[in-house]
């Protein structure tokens, strides 16, 4: 599918970190909802806690996330992104946007760029909830 091909290409153009799909999913989820436990991440991603534990351990070992005791329940560990990870995620997004902008400008005429913008707006409507 075209959307998958574009996604892969964007990932190739800005691969500041070589994360697996499961690692990337955890990082993006923690970016949206900081302070999740391994169990909560496993439930959200639909995997076993043991599998998520291995993914989390590799991210902690790589310095991408950190764990802190839950202030409300010291038995739980809440995971969050490190400042460096937030910086890398911003850099990756900026590099992807830069590549995409330059590719569009280089390959499409002004009229085609307007058509593309219109098509993107139409596709965005697909993601909006129906009234």
Tens digits of residue pLDDT in 47-74: 999 999 999 999 999 999 999 998 888 8
Neighbour-count burial of 2, counting CB atoms closer than 10 A to its CB (0-12 exposed, 13-18 middle, 19+ buried): exposed
What pLDDT sits at residue 41? 96
Residues 59 and 24: beta-carbon distance below 8 Å: no
Q: What is the pTM of this model?
A: 0.78
Q: What is the largest CA-CA distance in the chain?
A: 59
Helical ranges in 19-129 per DSSP H: 21-32, 38-45, 49-61, 83-107, 110-127
What pLDDT sits at residue 16? 57
Read off the DSSP letter of residue 3: H
Question: With a cut of 50, which residues of the chain have pLDDT below it?
Answer: none
Residues in the chain: 131
Output the six-digit token pair for 103.
């590719």
């Amino acid at each position: 599918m075209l959307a998958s091909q574009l996604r892969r290409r964007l990932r190739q153009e800005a691969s500041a970190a070589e994360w697996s799909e499961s690692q990337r999913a955890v990082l993006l989820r923690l970016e949206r909802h900081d302070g999740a436990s391994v169990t909560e991440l496993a439930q959200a991603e639909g995997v076993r806690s043991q599998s998520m534990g291995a993914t989390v351990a590799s991210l902690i070992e790589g310095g991408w996330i950190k764990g802190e005791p839950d202030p409300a329940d010291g038995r739980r560990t809440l995971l969050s992104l490190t400042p460096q990870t937030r910086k890398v995620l911003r850099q990756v997004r900026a590099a992807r946007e830069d590549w995409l902008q330059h590719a569009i400008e280089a390959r499409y005429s002004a009229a085609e760029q307007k058509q593309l913008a219109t098509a993107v707006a139409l596709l965005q409507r697909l993601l909006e909830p129906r009234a």
